[in-house]
Amino acid sequence: MLDAAGEVFSEKGFEAATLAEVVARSGGSLSTLYELFGNKSGLLAATVGERCERFSNVIEGATFSRDDPRTILCEVGRYLLDQMTQPDGIALMRIIIAESPRHPELGRQFYESGPETGRRTMARFLSRLTERGLLDVDHPETAAVHFFHMLVGELQIRLLCALAIDGYATQEHLDRTVDAFLRLYAPRANDVAPSSLS
């Protein structure tokens, strides 16, 4: 049902989307939809929350399976770039921006389940790499913000303004971002942990 809701919201926008059309695409009934989500705002919040959860799961899976900074940053970055350039993802972002002043809970839920959760998960990963002497990060949450904004800051503005994204979603852009981040937070030679040398 949430996939169908995402399609309808992306195609119609929030105001023009109807719960009846969501039900028609997904099956089920209006009564079930109201029971699960309450109303259209609740359905939109659940749709956004589910997509944010997918991204958080990607970060969790990548960061806690290995300790290689470059591989993990490239994997997380590639997923984020791919998701951000999907038409339905762009449409949902525009809806969130437009509807948050009228529905503050929607904006709060999106931020907490998406950017905030992603930042905290990445910060835990950066802290672990710093403990092992593989990075030198004094403020992990700030460093996580640096990575995400270096990667998608310009891209997001261009997408929201319906401008050409040029080279901001390419592998070359991802590689350069990761290179710059790793140079910024490279460990100092005298701070390398003994465990990382064994």
**36 located within any domain:** no
Give the angle 175-181-187 at the CA atoms, nearest 5°. 125
**18 located within any domain:** no
Supply the pLDDT for residue 81. 92
Supply the pLDDT for residue 163. 92
Supply the pLDDT for residue 195. 46
137/182 Cα distance (integer angstroms): 10
Taking a C-beta distance cutoff of 8 angstroms, is the pair 181, 147 a contact?
Answer: yes
**25 located within any domain:** no
**53 located within any domain:** yes
Pair of tokens at residue 69: 């900074």
Supply the pLDDT for residue 191. 55
Q: How many CA atoms lie within 13 A of 145 on its CB side?
A: 5
Supply the pLDDT for residue 197. 40
Taking a C-beta distance cutoff of 8 angstroms, is the pair 84, 145 a contact?
Answer: no
**183 located within any domain:** yes
Supply the pLDDT for residue 196. 46
Considering its fold, how many domains does the chain have in total?
A: 1
Q: What is the CATH number of the domain that holds 182?
A: 1.10.357.10
Segments of the chain scoring below 70 in pLDDT: 190-198
Domain membership of residue 120 as a residue range:
41-187
**29 located within any domain:** no
How many beta carbons lie within 10 A of that of residue 45, not counting itself? Answer: 23
**149 located within any domain:** yes
**32 located within any domain:** no
Over residues 61-114, the pLDDT tens digits come to 877 777 789 998 999 999 989 988 888 888 888 888 888 898 888 888 888 878
Claim: this prediction has a pTM higher than 0.85: no
